[in-house]
Amino acid sequence: MGVVPKPCGASGGVLMAARNLILSLTAALLCWLSVASADPAQVNRDRLLGAASEPGQWFSRGRDWTGQFYSPLDRINASNVTRLGFAWEYDAGTRRGRVQRGLEATPIVVDGVMYVSLAWSEVVALDARTGTELWRYDPKADGASDRRACCDVVNRGVAVWQSRVYIATIDGYLAALDAKTGREIWRADTFTDRTRSNTITGAPQVAGHVVVIGNGGSEFGVRGYVSAFDVDSGALRWRFYTVPGDPRRGYEHPELRMAAKTWDANSDWLTGGGGSAWDGMAYDPRLNLVYFGTGNSNPYPTWFRSPQRTDNLFLASILAVNPDTGRLKWYYQTTPGEMWDYDATQPLVLADLKIGGRMRQVLMQANKNGFFYVLDRASGKLLSAKNYVYVNWATGVSLATGRPMVTAQSSYKDKPKLIFPGQVGGHNWHPMSYSPQTGLVYIPAIDTPMLFSTAPSYEYRPGEFNMGAAGAFPPVPDEYRQGAPHTEMRAMLLAWDPVGQRAAWQIPQSSYYNGGVLSTAGELVFQGTSSGHLVVYAARTGQVLKDIEVGTGIMAAPSAYELDGQEYVAVLAGFGGGLQKMFPPGAAARTHRNESRLIVFKLDGGATRVTALLEPPAIPEQRYAVSADADTIAGGKTLYMTHCARCHGGFWEDAASGYPDLKRMSAAAHAAFDSIVIDGALRNAGMASFQDVLSRDQAHAIQAYLQTETNRLIDAAQAAHPTH
């Protein structure tokens, strides 16, 4: 019974005042009957369209159908936000192994129950007043998924619809859960080819009678597509490929014939092309169009992928599809000839804006490529595109042609080039927020170049990164800095006027890869930081009004809800995701325990717990007698860099990481090395078997390399402190 909230509470005063006891009892009985029969999670078309009249609810990832991440609540506002404090928290930590994972979802709250997805695609339902767990669903996702995921085993949310909760899992299944119990009602396999490194981290999108889901994997070599399943039965209704396959095999649907005209007939069809739709989706119930963005190319360089015709539809594009038929209504390609990891997957925000004296139904995106796009969402017509961060790959976007004006600096074919924005983008998956009250979009923006270089040659390698290029974070060698305004890793909260196409204000931040944004009718903007703070800004000026340290880095966007006249703000804290393998400067995960938590705040709450400081890493105690010769150890290092460094570090100096540092591996782990690396003893915790790519001898060479590194650490420590 705990699942069903108490809708009768609001009428209690009326009941108490009723003079007629019998009438009162009858009302109570009717109320009790309605509670007993009420199904939780009643989200439907009418409630989504009428969400303005239910300001206390948070129905979907971005609250309502617009994806604005805006709450009409104003009980918490500039006059009282200094009183914001702790309400409750929930241990959202992984229950698989000891590696803490990033959290990226925004809590949905419907009629007093909170639904949120966690790492490893787990889902919890909580009493939104107290945090009491009502159920927790574990899809038991394949631990080998961690090896196929570019960016941690994260999940960006569930969809709640008509008493069901939809979750897409890291290993490619879409499941419908009973919102009351968490019981699985149906489960569909969304992957077409399980030999490829697809994963799902995105939230499903309900659109009419289907639930739509894409996937990721374009860094590894996949062909992008989205799939639509019947909301009731889970039956596949349609599938839309975002890039054509080899034309000699024909086309799955008519749009691909048109798309294929923008590809070289001799393209690298083996790698797959990329274009995976791994995040931003939206649905306009009135236009009956589902929108999604597509990811980067694969391999990145056009000279390896499609040398003659380079636009390559529908890479790096925003598409509108009729969810009843699966047919394309319109597309807009943000980055023709994509070769910089400029996914167009950032969250899509729908709004009505007055542009040029005329109200337009728009779709907005702060694209990874650094341009802020405003499209007419009925027609796909480009209304404006202005850079919101510094860019040097293009000088602008032509409104006449809709195409970017690409610069010579953008091509790294002949020599490495410092390109703005870098691979992380001007803005990544972290939700931006649009406030209809201020007319501003609040963007968790990034201003960082990357040094792009091409591989000398390219050949598809199953199971590995297949980018054919590399992007290096700063520091940048002097010879490549010319003309760059700076060469730092910078981040800022940016308030952007989407009509005037200019910044209203921006706040530089000392931490990097900061959280998604919530704005409220209290004229407030809430954003967590990777440095482990929840910060509240004045929506019109950017003035910091409140700063609460939590100690855990925050990437996810908060949500706001109201119960019994009390407004709450909820946020998932837990760092990881795309930078799980390389904690950036300023990240709390470098200094504090990266404990994954759901934290809820209210006015006049208590003190928020700050996670404990980390101990400095211990010097390994045991020295190893390494019998392997120098060539074997050098070979072990090469194998380590190929297969292990992507997670366990080694590419970057001083790269703190969420994964175990193998140079500090325990003696027990060394004793079990074969069983872990070859036999997959820790596969459920995310450490997959590597027996498909490593022989036992090769594993032993890696181990010998690690043991020499361990010995080197001990030697260095003893040299620094000879008395020990």
To Ca ion, the closest distance from the beta carbon of 434 in angstroms equals 24
CA-based nearest residue to 361, from 370, 349, 347? 349
Minimum CB distance to Ca ion, residue 580 (Å): 15
What does each C-alpha distance from 238 to 66, 167, 231, 327 come to in angstroms?
Answer: 24, 19, 13, 9
**Is 341 tagged catalytic?**
yes
Q: Scan for tokens 């697809």, then name that residue.
A: 198
- For residue 321, give both structure tokens: 């599809």
Q: Is there a contact between 658 and 101 (Cβ–Cβ < 8 Å)? A: yes
Show Cβ contacts of residue 321 under 8 Å, excluding neighbours closer than 6 positions.
226, 240, 289, 290, 291, 292, 327, 328, 329
CB of 278 to Ca ion, least distance (A): 8
Minimum CB distance to Ca ion smaller for 150 or for 445: 150
CB of 356 closer than 8 Å to CB of 291: no
64 vs 338 by CB, closer to Ca ion: 338
Q: Give yes or no for a contact between 39 and 163, defined as CB atoms under 8 angstroms apart.
A: yes
Shortest distance in whole angstroms from residue 429 CB to Ca ion: 10
CA nearest to 556, candidates 390, 347, 276, 367: 347
Concatenate the DSSP letters of all residues of 567-631 into one string. Answer: EEEEEEE---GGGTTSPPTT-GGGTB----EEEEEEET-BPPPPPPBPPPPPPPS------S-HH
**C-beta closer to Ca ion: residue 344 or 573:** 344
CB closer to Ca ion out of 90 and 304: 304
To Ca ion, the closest distance from the beta carbon of 274 in angstroms equals 8
Here the tokens at position 24 are 């009162």
Residue 543 CB coordination number (10 Å): 12
Residue entry with tokens 């070859």: 678
| Largest interatomic CA distance in the chain | 94
Residues 282-341 that bind Ca ion (CB under 5 A): 296, 341
User: What mask, x for binding Ca ion by CB under 5 A, covers residues 563 to 582?
Assistant: --------------------
Q: Which is nearer to Ca ion, 425 or 498 (CB)?
A: 425
Query: Checking phi first, is residue 142 left (phi over 0); if not, alpha (psi -120 to 50) or beta?
Result: beta
Among 255, 284, 338, 343, binds Ca ion (CB under 5 A): 343
| Local structure of 503: helix, strand or coil | strand
Pick between residue 427 and residue 590 the one whose CB is nearest to Ca ion. 427
Nearer to Ca ion, 338 or 523 (CB): 338
**Residue with token string 């934290």:** 599
Task: Indicate the pairing of strand 440-447 with strand 349-355.
Answer: unpaired
Q: What are phi and psi of 307, to 5 degrees?
A: -65, -35
Q: Give how many residues touch Ca ion by CB under 5 A.
A: 3
Query: By C-beta, is 224 or 649 nearer to Ca ion?
Result: 224
Beta partners for residue 239, in sequence order = 227
Q: Nearest residue by C-beta to Ca ion?
A: 296
At 170, list the tokens.
Answer: 């890291």
- Please tell me which residue in 341, 343, 547, 697 is annotated as part of the active site: 341
Q: Which residues bind Ca ion (CB under 5 A)?
A: 296, 341, 343
Q: Which residues are catalytic?
A: 341
